[in-house]
Amino acid sequence: MPAGTRVRWAVVSATSVALVATGCGSSGSGSGGGSSDTSKTFTYQSSEPQNPLQPANANETGGGRIVQNLFKGLADYDPSNGKLRMQVADKIDTSDAQNYTVTLKSGWTFHDGTPVTAKSFVDAWNWAANTNNNQINSSWFADIEGYKDIHPESGSPTTDKMSGLAVQDDTHFTIKLYNKVSYFPFKLGYVAFSPLPEGFYKDPAGYGQKPVGNGPYEFVSWDHNSQVVTKTFANYQGVDKPKNGGVVFKMYTTSEAAYADLQSNNLDVMDQVPPSALANYKNDLGDRAIDAPQGAIQNIGFTLYQADWQGQDKNKVRQGLSMAIDRDTITKTVLQNSRKPASAWVAEGVDGYKAGTCGDFCTYNADKAKQLITEGGGVPGNAIKITYNADGGHKEWVDAVCNSIRQATGVNCTGDPKTDFKTARAAITGHQINGLFRTGWVQDYPLNANFLADVYRTGAASNDTGYSSPEFDKLANEADQAASVEDTATGYQKAEAQLAIDMPAIPLWYYRTNSGFSTKVQNVAFDSFGNPAWTQVEVKG
């Protein structure tokens, strides 16, 4: 996985063809273009899910990608432009960005034949948000009024229903939020907001092993550590009708094994080629190789809560360090073109992405870097350490970044590896880090607010740097109050500009999907989540 992390992946059913097309010449949507057989299944590289297959419990890729194929929520993201697209919802109306009325389409059913109604959503959300049910994604419901009663910070919930949710009739329900969140519908594309059938509540654990959803594919079998088999759901009502007979998720422990299988046609589509194959995979696979952008970014964060990095003009030191990193050379050589140099804090391909927000500070310039660092009073002790997790393949580029900084500015820079991701995260969140650390962000939903509000707002859950800027917070709040998602996106671009002034974290580069497919399938394209457009894959007849 990118960043060696386990990340949340929002629901997505199809890819942004435009993104893929602009990505790289060799990114492909098929070899040939022959006839296809809609009854045939294809295999996909996966890993054993780490949690039961419940929508609000799937926050890692292994389980997440299976669940998002079995379930379909109110909306997902459009294949042509990555924007929000209605699925079960006919429309989601609001006049004040705080009270939403959802109208459902009729005709949707679960795989067991029971209808998908407003109650299916409201009950599912209440169940998922309830502390007693231990759902890892429960905090996604925190915007909804009544969440604090059903999910108190400690102790047992006082109720099992959120006051902000009300069923009007079979096809209508309303949502009331604590605050105005103009882009709330964007969040609804995440798999945690999926509906659940009545039968679920009788045996949630059993359903976790044998899920019944309403998505394009229905569950057939789960042969643990070996494969999860799904087949196309005949009565699927979504706008993305499957062009294949189902997906078989084959479990692999190493991507090397998956790549060997892909080359010999024993695996049809894979996640990401192993680092050992990065240099050759385009030669190996020819027009079956894929190189597409992802909504994920790699950063270096500063421990702004430490005295060393506080005080006037220290932002100049941080800007100087950013300018001392030769992103172009490092992505080309050390990272073998598997990343693209960043020029903003939001990843490319994301709604609201604006290239160049970082300005000159993201362009290599040794003289300017030295000058800025001197103006800012210099780096304390003239030495920095970059903490990273040693299990994610980060050593090479951290060393390269350090070399770049050392050569450009004379600041002594060394890498500080932690055993694994867990350890590194514990040190970062526990504020046991000195100076700089590797950090990253993978989109939950493709909107710039997700890259900014969740990471840089004062006290935000994932604000690892301790960054707190009244100006940024004010602009972010204004953006949240905006009337439309478009205005929100523009509003957040203004907030992002503040990051260039304060430089709480150095943007390094954007992730890319480097993958490929077998000769048995065609029309394979990847979206910015790094997932293929599952339903669009065609199996050759």
* Among 426, 361, 413, residue whose Cα is nearest residue 383: 413
Taking CB under 8 A as the rule, does residue 257 contact another protein? yes
Taking CB under 8 A as the rule, does residue 235 contact another protein? no
Q: Name, in order, each residue with C-beta under 8 angstroms of 428's C-beta and a sequence gap of 6 or more.
A: 301, 387, 437, 439, 464
Q: Are 496 and 354 in contact (CB under 8 A)?
A: yes
Helix (H/G/I), strand (E/B), else coil: 213: coil
Binding to another protein by CB under 8 A, coded x per residue (else -) over 13-52, reads -----------------------------------xxxxx
Nearest approach in angstroms of CB 91 to another protein is 30
* Among 257, 326, 260, residue whose Cα is nearest residue 508: 326
Binding to another protein by CB under 8 A, coded x per residue (else -) over 466-495, reads ------------------------------
Burial class of 472 by CB neighbour count within 10 A (0 to 12, 13 to 18, 19+): buried
Residues 59-88 close enough to bind another protein by CB under 8 A: 59-60
Nearest approach in angstroms of CB 142 to another protein is 9
Binding to another protein by CB under 8 A, coded x per residue (else -) over 391-420, reads ---------------------------xxx
Nearer to another protein, 85 or 282 (CB): 282
78, 123, 218, 261: residue in contact with another protein (rule CB under 8 A): 261
* Distances, alpha carbon 317 to alpha carbons 102, 408, 461, in Å: 49, 13, 26
Nearest approach in angstroms of CB 130 to another protein is 10
Rounded Cα gap, residues 295 and 311, in angstroms:
33
Rounded Cα gap, residues 70 and 283, in angstroms:
35
Q: Are 378 and 309 in contact (CB under 8 A)?
A: no
Nearer to another protein, 419 or 484 (CB): 419
Nearest approach in angstroms of CB 394 to another protein is 14
* Rounded (10°) CA dihedral 465, 191, 67, 536: -110
Taking CB under 8 A as the rule, does residue 432 contact another protein? no
Nearest approach in angstroms of CB 463 to another protein is 9
Residues 86-105 close enough to bind another protein by CB under 8 A: none
Taking CB under 8 A as the rule, does residue 279 contact another protein? no
Nearer to another protein, 426 or 483 (CB): 426
Residue 105 DSSP code: P
26, 99, 114, 131: residue in contact with another protein (rule CB under 8 A): 131
Taking CB under 8 A as the rule, does residue 260 contact another protein? yes
Nearer to another protein, 3 or 500 (CB): 3
Taking CB under 8 A as the rule, does residue 106 contact another protein? no
Taking CB under 8 A as the rule, does residue 225 contact another protein? yes
Binding-residue total with another protein (CB under 8 A): 55
Rounded Cα gap, residues 6 and 62, in angstroms:
9
22, 132, 382, 519: residue in contact with another protein (rule CB under 8 A): 132
Q: Name, in order, each residue with C-beta under 8 angstroms of 98's C-beta and a sequence gap of 6 or more.
A: 176, 177, 179, 180, 181
Taking CB under 8 A as the rule, does residue 234 contact another protein? no
Taking CB under 8 A as the rule, does residue 205 contact another protein? yes
Nearest approach in angstroms of CB 501 to another protein is 25
- Where is 76: in which H helix or E strand? strand 75-77
- Token output for 232: 């196309």
383, 461, 483, 501: residue in contact with another protein (rule CB under 8 A): 461
Q: Name, in order, each residue with C-beta under 8 angstroms of 334's C-beta and a sequence gap of 6 or more.
A: 396, 397, 400
Nearest approach in angstroms of CB 386 to another protein is 17
With tokens 């960054």, the residue in question is 467
Nearer to another protein, 134 or 374 (CB): 134
Apex CA 74: angle with CA 227 and CA 228, to 5°?
5
For the chain, the straight-line distance linking the first and the last C-alpha, in angstroms and rounded, comes to 32
- How many other C-beta atoms lie within 10 A of the C-beta of residue 96? 11
Taking CB under 8 A as the rule, does residue 143 contact another protein? no
Residue 115 DSSP code: B
Q: Using DSSP, how many helices (H) and how many strands (E) does the chain show? A: 16, 18
Taking CB under 8 A as the rule, does residue 422 contact another protein? yes
Taking CB under 8 A as the rule, does residue 208 contact another protein? yes
Nearest approach in angstroms of CB 381 to another protein is 27
- Token output for 274: 């192993």
Helix (H/G/I), strand (E/B), else coil: 359: helix
Nearer to another protein, 8 or 187 (CB): 8
Residues 434-453 close enough to bind another protein by CB under 8 A: 440-442
Rounded Cα gap, residues 263 and 284, in angstroms:
8
Interface residue list for another protein (CB under 8 A)? 3, 5-8, 48-52, 59-60, 131-132, 134-136, 138-139, 151-154, 205, 208-209, 224-226, 251-254, 256-258, 260-261, 263-264, 266, 418-423, 425-426, 429, 440-442, 461-462
